[in-house]
Structure 1
Amino acid sequence: MPPTSASARLDLSLLPYKMVRKIGSGSFGEVYLMEDRVNPDIKVAAKMISKSKRMKAHKEFLIHKELSDVGHENVIRILEMGKSPDFHYLYLEYAECGDLFDRIPMNSSMRPPMARKYFKQLITGLKFIHGQGVVHRDIKPENLLIGYGDILKICDFGHATKYLRTGIEVLLAPEVGTVEYAAPENYGPEHRGPPLDVWAAGVTLMTMVVGEYLWKKADVDCREYRKWISGKSLTKYNPFRRMNSVLFKLLRQILTDDVDQRLTLDEIENNPWVRLNKDVEYDVITIE
């Protein structure tokens, strides 16, 4: 394998695992598939983070390790943290089946029953994370891995932080993980943590069922975003013209710039579209 920007400066003999190939890029680092040197059947993912970002690496490890110590099937496990002369590396559970982004058909969209299956798992995983006092802040299809059994697993906690301190919710300073999935309040003063992940989950659902980003940034300077927030004439045009009305209403209730009106994870979990066992893909939309 030709040396990469990371592997060229890394003494591979220092690692307990053998580098196989690059499989992705996370916040603040590149991710590689690694094999155990003694037993190649044991595979892990290793996120390599430059020593210059050691404080971020330690914060990510501690937050992710707390979640892994409790454990949830919809959150990727972190195994350990190691060091080399130039890098910190986080060893992670390897999800064999890629990520959610790869499941969205190119130039098309995911069928609603499949989108619902993944979305329900995302909401379940987020409920666990929030229940541990953590907010992710970079939910997007690329950070949602797929393991055996089609199990969705939330990964990459590089932007995660604690939003509960001694059981009390604190406001967070603005930090944008990925612009297309960032909530509008991210561009203002301090804000609550959980609604950020709810918004990003809503954009993820929209991306699955529509197949594209509807706006580049959730900001009033973006024409497409202003059109969505206004709600005017949305259902006259694709992709909403023939969208299931219950799904459309769910998206409107999640992707609202009014944080107090935005659905909570519990409310999403009990939404009729989320709870539906079989899908009615198309019907007539009525705006209430």
Structure 2
Amino acid sequence: MSSTQSITALAQHENGSTPYQMITKLGHGGFGEVHLMESRLVPGFRVAAKLQLVSESNRSIVQKEYNIHKELSRHGHINVIHIFEMQETPMFYYLFMEFADCGTLSERLPPCIPMSPEMAQMYFKQLIAGLKFIHGLGVVHRDIKPRNLLIGSRDILKICDFGQATTFMQSGLEILLVYEGGTSQFEAPEVCEPWHRGPPLDVWSAGVTLMILQTKGVLWDSPHMECAEYRSWIEGTDLKKSPWNRMNKMLLDLLRKILTADVDQRLSLEEIEKSPWMRLSYGSTQMEHDVITID
């Protein structure tokens, strides 16, 4: 029996320990599993439940994730998944969250071609709006990627999975962070340094996410100059080749300014919102006068 099968079997065994009834497994990862569950008290009310095995090592990790996510939910934003409650049973920690019924952003990618620029822009605007809200509360996500971006009804993007999140403000001052792991293809190059700023990490990961939407794939394994694909991006040696030569010039310019190894030159979220591509109205030759975000 695999570890994921074991978790599912154990969860079914203690299915009566929570106020929700298990419906089906939605996914799994190194953290554990996510299940769709339905309220025993309110028929039809469904939640996504993140399950992690009870252990001393997991306790503080899960509690930190819950505390951060709960504070974000207390303020609330349409582009951030809402968390309802945390429960500990003899076997599991449960995090009960809003269920986004249209899957992940990665599942929205067409099978063989890039996403249309119009749709990519729509989702990216929502991602930037959600990150502005999160950063405004002194939190950095540190694991932005298409699998951690859920899609709800009306194509509303929702940031989820705050397992790597942490605070970057203390007493009104920004503090530097240390590396605690992530997804190598989405990590910013400065994570190899002993200390680094928080917000630029999410900006970088958001840029890689946009790149994936418009190129149909991650173009490097890790952001180090030893990686040939990454080095060619930083040095700009292949920009006249596919897929860059087919890309909107305003979009390519935006990606170059987001995915720069120089943290001081990397665009902020506010600068991204004001960029020409973000103000471009597809279907029209005119650019919008105002930045469109979903509040």
Range of TM-score over shorter length: over 0.9
Alignment root-mean-square deviation, CA: 1.5
Name the residue aligned to 1:50. Answer: 53
Give the C-alpha shift of residue 176 in structure 1: 2.7
The amino acid across from 2:5 in the alignment is T
Name the residue aligned to 1:231. Answer: 236
Name the residue aligned to 1:188. Answer: 193
Q: Secondary structure at the match of 1:235?
A: coil
Q: Aligned partners of 2:283, 2:259: CA distance in 1, in Å?
A: 22
1:124 lines up with 2:129 in the alignment: yes
Give the C-alpha shift of residue 5 in structure 1: 2.0
Name the residue aligned to 1:17. Answer: 20
Name the residue aligned to 2:269. Answer: 265
Q: Secondary structure at the match of 1:236?
A: coil
Name the residue aligned to 1:248. Answer: 252
Q: Aligned partners of 1:220, 1:25: CA distance in 2, in Å?
A: 32
Instruction: Confirm or deny: 8 A CA contact 2:7 2:32 kept in the other structure.
Output: no
- Indicate the larger mover: 149-158 or 27-36: 27-36
Q: Secondary structure at the match of 2:244?
A: coil
For structure 2, the residue ranges without an aligned partner over 5 or more in a row are 286-295
Q: Aligned partners of 2:113, 2:230: CA distance in 1, in Å?
A: 21
The amino acid across from 1:49 in the alignment is Q
% same residue: 55
Give the TM-score normalised by the residue count of structure 2.
Answer: 0.91
Which residue among 36, 40, 48 is the counterpart of 1:37? 40
Q: Secondary structure at the match of 1:251?
A: helix
Give the C-alpha shift of residue 186 in structure 1: 1.0
For structure 1, the residue ranges without an aligned partner over 5 or more in a row are 282-288
Q: Secondary structure at the match of 2:271?
A: helix
Instruction: Confirm or deny: 8 A CA contact 1:244 1:280 kept in the other structure.
Output: no
Q: How does 1:1-288 map to 2 (within 5 A)?
A: 4-10=5-11, 11-25=14-28, 28-52=31-55, 53-232=58-237, 234-278=238-282
- Cα-to-partner distance string for 1:143-163 (whole Å, 9 max, x where unaligned): 000111111000000000000
Name the residue aligned to 2:292. Answer: none
Give the TM-score normalised by the residue count of structure 1.
Answer: 0.93
CA spacing shift, 1:243–1:162, aligned 2, 3 Å: same
The amino acid across from 1:130 in the alignment is H
Give the C-alpha shift of residue 46 in structure 1: 0.2
Instruction: Confirm or deny: 8 A CA contact 2:102 2:150 kept in the other structure.
Output: yes
Q: Secondary structure at the match of 1:92?
A: strand
Instruction: Confirm or deny: 8 A CA contact 1:26 1:156 kept in the other structure.
Output: no
Q: Aligned partners of 1:204, 1:247: CA distance in 2, in Å?
A: 13
Give the C-alpha shift of residue 235 in structure 1: 2.5
Q: Secondary structure at the match of 2:200?
A: helix
- Indicate the larger mover: 119-128 or 178-187: 178-187
Off by >3 Å, runs of 4+ in structure 1: none
Q: Aligned partners of 2:69, 2:166: CA distance in 1, in Å?
A: 10
Q: Secondary structure at the match of 2:239?
A: helix
